Amino acid sequence: MSRLHIDWTACDGRGVCTELLEELLAEDDWGYPVARGGHREPAVPRPLEGAARQAVDRCPMLALRLVSG
């Protein structure tokens, strides 16, 4: 199963990922993505892999990456 890695130094809180991955990510008070459940690098369930790949491709700051394991 892959995990979603968020590069906090690159993210500027534009929210594309939270729109695409509502089930996995919420926005904090400043609009930055936080994993539901509090994990820093949330596991991506198989049904959300397509949306996660889309989020990686569409992140304007190239702040998202899928990592295996």
Q: Which positions touch ligand SF4 (CB under 6 A)?
A: 6, 11-17, 33, 59-61, 63-64
Q: How far is CA 9 from CA 12, 43, 45, 63, 64, in A?
A: 8, 21, 25, 8, 11
Least distance in angstroms from the C-beta of 13 to ligand SF4: 5
Q: Which residues are within 8 A (CB) of 29 and not within 5 positions of it... i.e. 6 or more apart?
A: none
Residue 7 to residue 28: CA distance in whole angstroms: 15
> Whole-number minimum distance, CB 17 to ligand SF4, in Å?
3
Q: How far is the CB of 49 from ligand SF4 (least distance, A)?
A: 17
Question: Between 61 and 67, whose beta carbon lies closer to ligand SF4?
Answer: 61
